[in-house]
Amino acid sequence: MHLAEETPDSVRLLAFRLAAEEFCIELRWIRQLRRWSETTALPGAPPHVLGLINLRGTIVPLIDLARRLGLRSGQEEARRVVIVCDLPRATAGLAVDAVGDILTVPAAALEPPPRTGSDRSDAVVTALALREERLIRVLDPVALTGQDSRECA
């Protein structure tokens, strides 16, 4: 893993933490990083949807990524970071505990996750790589936000 530029044979990833766990999202999805901001409640939304935020005039749903993945957040809300993602059908915010490095991983090092029998975990984790004793789990923000990535391709 390097902090080098992406090449056709590599993928750039943003590493972030949820509780004591590390995950990544491909940089191509990320629009910006923001500090935490208060949300407006959205009645009837799933429990992992914290509410809506105003992003320069655009209303964006904010998803508690730890809750979405069945984890507990390790940070109080005011200290969390929002990863704003531009997805095929919408913009969404993902609330995480902390943001880490931008990693460049050879595409050949990424492999599909093992089948667990759970459609839910198979859909959100798109790739795994083992680097320097770290297991890198690449998440699919399209699946995390409830969009069907097969329909968006």
Predicted confidence at residue 5, as pLDDT, reads 59
Q: What is the pLDDT of residues 36-51, one digit of tens each?
A: 888 999 999 999 999 9
- Number of compact structural domains in the chain: 1
Residue 49 lies in domain: 10-147
Predicted TM-score of the model (pTM): 0.85
Q: Which helix (H) or strand (E) holds 98?
A: strand 98-106
44 burial type by CB count under 10 A (0-12 exposed, 13-18 middle, 19+ buried): exposed
pLDDT at 10 over 80: yes
pLDDT at 72 over 50: yes
Between CA 118 and CA 78 the distance in angstroms is 33
65 falls within a domain: yes
82 Cβ contact list (under 8 Å, min separation 6): 33, 34, 35, 36, 37, 53, 62, 93, 94, 95, 96
The CATH number linked to 50 is 2.40.50.180
